[in-house]
């Protein structure tokens, strides 16, 4: 088996279809993309699916877990001959809730946060992070149908071909036995930044003594044309920055050209997210900090001296 017969692609985040379609094309023969409306269908079509299916809208679909029966029904219909099949989704919290239900409905193996997929004559394998990024696990999928959620930034998005065409059909909603209904929505202050796409990133850690000191970090970012991210304690714990901005195994995986790390110790859970940067530059006052084992350029120094000096230098 070097390629799977059928690959299904579905994402609750439309931005992730590019990466998923790249994986689908690598690992599958027939690619079915499932989307939530006509607008998404038009957007996804140039990415090369063989067929696009649009899910029927109902108010119950505000919660994507309710798609489980619908997705299971269409996958079973197409796959009546039990050909090797993969459902590929983005590793989002909601998709993972959906995979749990689909795993039961399709009697399928589920692997979350997958970082690599390999299909050869001996079978189909998925690699994923374990123990908070300290190790990788490689699973052999033994079920005919498998479900994986792909970690962000693992693959380059598929290249769009505006002339690509494929059939687009609608799919009726199949209500689950227990629908989860959304009763109320409240706005949350979300950051619009997508650090996984940023070319230059400054990361700030617990070396920062106070939230107000973020101002100098933002000033430096403005001077460098960089986005600002952080270590997990700055976002979860101190709550000085949005959760979307922390980098690491449970946060964002960088693919930037430069990652400038300020007052971050360099624990493995953080570096799993930072290591994707082409060049890592670290400033830390502790010469024994683990970050100096990863950094391409390291400066033993106090960020409260280095950052103002850099801003001053860049302003000249
Ligand atoms: P610290 O480890 O406290 O380091 C602060 C650093 O700042 C020190 O090296 C210190 O020398 C330096 N410093 C202090 N003052 C200055 C100064 N004035 N100038 C220069 N340097 C200074 N963390 C993540 O970031 N992302 C994750 O996704 C993540 N996932 C995790 C998942 C699990 C299951 C677990 C258990 C942990 C996870 N963590 C994650 C937490 C991680 O293990 C570390 O605790 C965290 O990354 C440390 O953050 P830090 O480097 O900012 O803080």
pLDDT tens for each residue of 268-313: 999 999 999 999 999 999 999 999 999 999 999 999 999 999 999 9
Residue 271 CB less than 6 A away from ligand 1: no
Average pLDDT score over residue span 149-172: 94
Residue 129 CB less than 6 A away from ligand 1: no
State the residue for tokens 């570096």: 271
- State the CB neighbour count (10 A cutoff) for residue 3: 15
CA distance 238 to 81: 54
Q: Which pLDDT score is estimated for 229?
A: 97
Q: How far is the CA of 239 from the centre of ligand 1 (A)?
A: 14
Phi, psi (5° rounding) for residue 35?
-130, 175
Mean pLDDT, the chain, integer: 92
Nearest atom in ligand 1 to the alpha carbon of residue 304 is 18
Mutate to test the pocket of ligand 1, among 207, 245, 250, 298 (most ligand atoms within 8 A of CB): 207
Residue 263 CB less than 6 A away from ligand 1: yes
Residue 208 CB less than 6 A away from ligand 1: no
Q: Which pLDDT score is estimated for 49?
A: 96
Q: What length does the chain have?
A: 316
Give per-residue pLDDT as tens, 173-192: 998 888 888 888 777 665 66
Mutate to test the pocket of ligand 1, among 129, 131, 206 (most ligand atoms within 8 A of CB): 206
Query: CB neighbours of 233 closer than 8 A, spacing ≥ 6?
Result: 205, 206
Nearest atom in ligand 1 to the alpha carbon of residue 266 is 51
Average pLDDT score over residue span 255-280: 96
Phi, psi (5° rounding) for residue 263?
65, 40
Across the beta sheet with 85-90, what order do the strands follow? 135-141, 123-130, 109-120, 145-150, 85-90, 4-10, 28-35, 51-55, 168-171
Q: Which pLDDT score is estimated for 61?
A: 60
Instruction: Determine how β-strand 123-130 pairs with β-strand 135-141.
Output: antiparallel
Give per-residue pLDDT as tens, 47-96: 999 999 999 987 656 688 899 999 999 999 998 778 889 999 999 988 99
Q: Which pLDDT score is estimated for 7?
A: 95
Average pLDDT score over residue span 238-267: 95
Q: Which pLDDT score is estimated for 14?
A: 93
Q: Which pLDDT score is estimated for 133?
A: 65
Taking 60 as the threshold, does the pLDDT of residue 1 lie above it? no
More confidently predicted of 249 and 223? 223
């Amino acid at each position: 088996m070097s390629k799977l017969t059928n690959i299904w692609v579905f994402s609750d985040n439309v931005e992730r279809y590019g990466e998923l379609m790249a994986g689908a094309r690598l690992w599958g023969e027939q690619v079915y993309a499932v989307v939530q409306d006509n607008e998404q269908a038009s957007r996804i079509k140039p990415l090369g699916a063989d067929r696009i299916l649009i899910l029927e809208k109902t108010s119950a679909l505000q919660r994507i877990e309710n798609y489980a029966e619908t997705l299971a029904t269409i996958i079973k219909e197409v796959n009546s001959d039990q050909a090797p099949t993969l459902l590929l989704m983005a590793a989002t919290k909601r998709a993972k809730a959906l995979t749990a239900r689909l795993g039961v409905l399709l009697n399928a193996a589920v692997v979350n946060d997958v970082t690599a997929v390999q299909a050869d004559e001996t079978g189909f394998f998925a690699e994923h992070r374990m123990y908070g990024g300290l190790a990788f696990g490689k699973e052999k999928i033994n079920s005919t149908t498998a479900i994986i959620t792909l970690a962000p930034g693992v693959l380059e998005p598929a290249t769009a071909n505006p002339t690509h065409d494929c059939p687009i059909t609608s799919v009726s909603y199949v209500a689950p036995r227990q629908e989860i209904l959304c009763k109320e929505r409240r706005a949350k202050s979300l950051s619009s930044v997508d650090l996984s796409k940023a070319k230059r990133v400054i990361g700030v850690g617990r070396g920062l003594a106070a939230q107000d000191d973020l101002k100098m970090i933002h000033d430096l970012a403005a001077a460098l044309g960089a986005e600002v991210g952080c270590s997990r304690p700055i976002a979860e714990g101190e709550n000085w920055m949005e959760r979307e901005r922390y980098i690491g195994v449970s946060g964002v995986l960088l693919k930037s050209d430069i990652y400038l790390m300020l007052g971050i110790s360099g624990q493995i859970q953080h570096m799993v997210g930072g290591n994707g940067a082409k060049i890592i530059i670290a400033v830390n006052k502790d010469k024994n900090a683990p970050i100096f084992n990863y950094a391409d350029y390291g400066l033993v120094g106090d960020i409260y001296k280095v950052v103002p000096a850099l801003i001053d230098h860049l302003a000249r």
